[in-house]
Structure 1
Amino acid sequence: MVQILLGLLAVLLVYYLFYFIRDLVAERKNLGGGNWLVAGLIGLVTDAMDTLGIGSFAPTTMLLETTKQLDNDRQLPGTLNVSHTVPVIIEAFIFITVVKVAPLTLFSLVIAAIVGSYIGSKTVSKLPEKKVQFYMGIALIVTAALMALKQLGLLDLLGTGNHLTGLTGSKLIIGIIGNFILGALMTIGVGLYAPCMALVYMLGLSPLVAFPIMMASCAGLMPVAGTNFIKSGDYSRKVSLGITIGGIIGVIIATRFVTGLNMNVLTWIVIVVVLYSGFTYIRKGKQAFAGNLKKS
């Protein structure tokens, strides 16, 4: 079943690249704003962090906001999903082949995340810009809180003493439902890593098992979500391509050279800035809810 999953990820990669390359060629004279070098550096740094388990969505959002790479905030969810798809698939292949996980558990949770992302991306792509800003702010704060809990060791405590490598019965059903929800939430910028790790811990699996599950989940859902954003045009083409190229290099570097680095201080810096960005987006998007209250 693991080989089937690897084959599925390979097929999804080809499926995604077909639409991504076709769109870039068709719109080669309209790639949008942004800077190639800045986008590439963002991809290199964030996907190196992603390989180390920190996650890429929150720091990418922080850096895109800081460097003003996007033409408008509506492009953010699509750019996040499109730009990190290829690097994450590379990560998934590495972890799936190294860490032992019960095939049924791995396959079921990954498929659930893929279905969740498909439904979520279709919903998010139709949201007005102000609502996207508001929900992105909420997503960033949730992500930062989970990252902080992980840094404090509170999420790790949930997995202390866990040795299971697979789920059965009601726990498997809960895991499937949980990863379906996380897959949908990822399309509005809630990074799947930290909540997936918490879910895995609470269900009694070994903490190490979280890595192939969360990597494969993202690798499975991101080509689907990314393709939907590509079809709707709700992403930055130049920035996404730059982050993709830089991200591939970042994954290779992190895997081979920097897996032993202490990322504690850097992670806390990211948490603080992500919280700031989250409240900034909420402030920008609260007009949407104010408008709804007036209508009601």
Structure 2
Amino acid sequence: MDGINIVQVILILVVLVNGLFAIRFVLDVLQHKEELKEEPGNPVAMAIVSFFMFFLSTFGISDFAIGSSLYPKAKWVSDKKLPGTLNTECVIPVAVMALAYISSIEVGLLTLVTAIVCQVVGAYVSPRYVTKLPANQIKRFVAAGLFIAAGLILAGKFGIYPSGGELSSLEGGSLILFALLCMLFGALNNIGIGSYALTMATVYAMGLNPSIAFPIMMGACTFSVPIGSMQFIKLDSYSRKITLFTSTFGVLGVLVAAFVVKSLDVSALLWVVVVVVLYSAITMLKSSFNKEK
């Protein structure tokens, strides 16, 4: 199978898997129209936030970090439904990113398939456990995710982020370790700790060439997130309203970023994001311990 055919197969599978999620989500919205109307959130504010969140996400600013920081403050979603919402809201925008940016796949096919399958397994299994966690524990997991996101941003800013190597694939023990980590990242994604940045750091740290590693990171995310998100829909543990707005206005943000703006200097903005994310993480952590007392 040559490179072009692999790209075509991957993109077709992206459409099929994410299309299945879209059908499941639409059916759920139609079945719960009245509940959706009663969910909190100003429609205009949600539309603007959704657009800019995924506009910035296209340039590498984590939508998980923004959503985790913003939604609890705005009281748009309960603590229990926050992890599910962070996942369901990004499914369609991330699929559009994948379709817009995956133009070639030069990484080893076994490495790519391992990343995708293992993250899908982790994402499929974990939601049923996440929904049973107490709200305080969910807050602490989300806070941990925010600290990790801030740490990765700072690592990049100070030049201590793994730089990658020249490998195009992994073998033997390295591939087994990568498989286990991908399964863990798929599970962590469902408690609000975004898998994309963790996968990227792992890919670079294990010596893969950064220029060919993009399909691993984007492919693993765009297959595992919809699988986990369908479990959150089944368990009724997500915000339909937020997901509806991000699936429309968030997609518009991705399209504008990908085909109109194309490049953006987010260097200064990343400092603002770090401050907001750290403040939100500390506030969330304090709140979880205060409620426990």
Q: Same fold (TM over 0.5)?
A: yes
Q: Which residue of 2 aligns with 1:17?
A: 22
Matched residue pairs, number? 286
Matches within 5 A, 1:140-289: 140-155=146-161, 158-159=162-163, 162-286=165-289
Deviation of 1:10 after TM superposition, in Å, equals 2.3
Using a 3 Å threshold, how does the CA distance of structure 1 residues 216 and 78 change in structure 2: closer, same or farther? Answer: same
For 1:201 and 1:96, the matched residues in 2 are separated by: 18
For 1:110 and 1:16, the matched residues in 2 are separated by: 17
Q: Which residue of 1 aligns with 2:3?
A: none
Map Cα deviations across residues 37-86 of structure 1 (whole Å, 9 max, x no partner): 2222222112122222222110122232343322x221211111111100
Q: Say whether the 8 Å CA contact 1:121–1:228 is kept in structure 2.
A: yes
Q: Which residue of 2 aligns with 1:84?
A: 90
For 1:208 and 1:51, the matched residues in 2 are separated by: 17
For 1:132 and 1:46, the matched residues in 2 are separated by: 22
Match among 43, 68, 75 for residue 75 of structure 2: 68
Q: Say whether the 8 Å CA contact 2:127–2:190 is kept in structure 1.
A: yes
For 1:46 and 1:125, the matched residues in 2 are separated by: 25
For 1:126 and 1:275, the matched residues in 2 are separated by: 26
What's the C-alpha RMSD, in Å, of the aligned pairs? 1.8
What amino acid is aligned across from residue 32 of structure 2 in structure 1?
A: E
For 1:153 and 1:256, the matched residues in 2 are separated by: 29
Deviation of 1:25 after TM superposition, in Å, equals 0.3
Q: Which residue of 2 aligns with 1:137?
A: 143
Q: Say whether the 8 Å CA contact 1:35–1:239 is kept in structure 2.
A: no
Secondary structure of the corresponding residue to residue 189 of structure 1: coil
For the pair 1:52 / 2:56, whether they are aligned, the reply is: no
Secondary structure of the corresponding residue to residue 35 of structure 2: coil
Q: Say whether the 8 Å CA contact 2:123–2:190 is kept in structure 1.
A: yes
What amino acid is aligned across from residue 47 of structure 2 in structure 1?
A: G
Give the alignment's TM-score, normalised by structure 1: 0.90
Map Cα deviations across residues 183-229 of structure 1 (whole Å, 9 max, x no partner): 11111111222211110111111123342221111111111111111
Using a 3 Å threshold, how does the CA distance of structure 1 residues 108 and 143 change in structure 2: closer, same or farther? Answer: same
For 1:142 and 1:242, the matched residues in 2 are separated by: 27
Q: Say whether the 8 Å CA contact 1:150–1:194 is kept in structure 2.
A: no
For 1:37 and 1:243, the matched residues in 2 are separated by: 12
Identity across matched positions, percent: 33
Match among 94, 99, 102 for residue 100 of structure 2: 94
Q: Say whether the 8 Å CA contact 1:33–1:236 is kept in structure 2.
A: no
- Any unmatched runs of 5+ in structure 2? 1-5
For the pair 1:113 / 2:116, whether they are aligned, the reply is: no
Secondary structure of the corresponding residue to residue 170 of structure 2: coil
Using a 3 Å threshold, how does the CA distance of structure 1 residues 24 and 62 change in structure 2: closer, same or farther? Answer: same
Deviation of 1:249 after TM superposition, in Å, equals 0.6
What amino acid is aligned across from residue 23 of structure 2 in structure 1?
A: F
Q: Which residue of 1 aligns with 2:41?
A: 34
Q: Say whether the 8 Å CA contact 2:126–2:190 is kept in structure 1.
A: yes
For 1:82 and 1:92, the matched residues in 2 are separated by: 16
What amino acid is aligned across from residue 47 of structure 1 in structure 2?
A: F
Deviation of 1:263 after TM superposition, in Å, equals 0.3
Q: Say whether the 8 Å CA contact 1:37–1:242 is kept in structure 2.
A: no
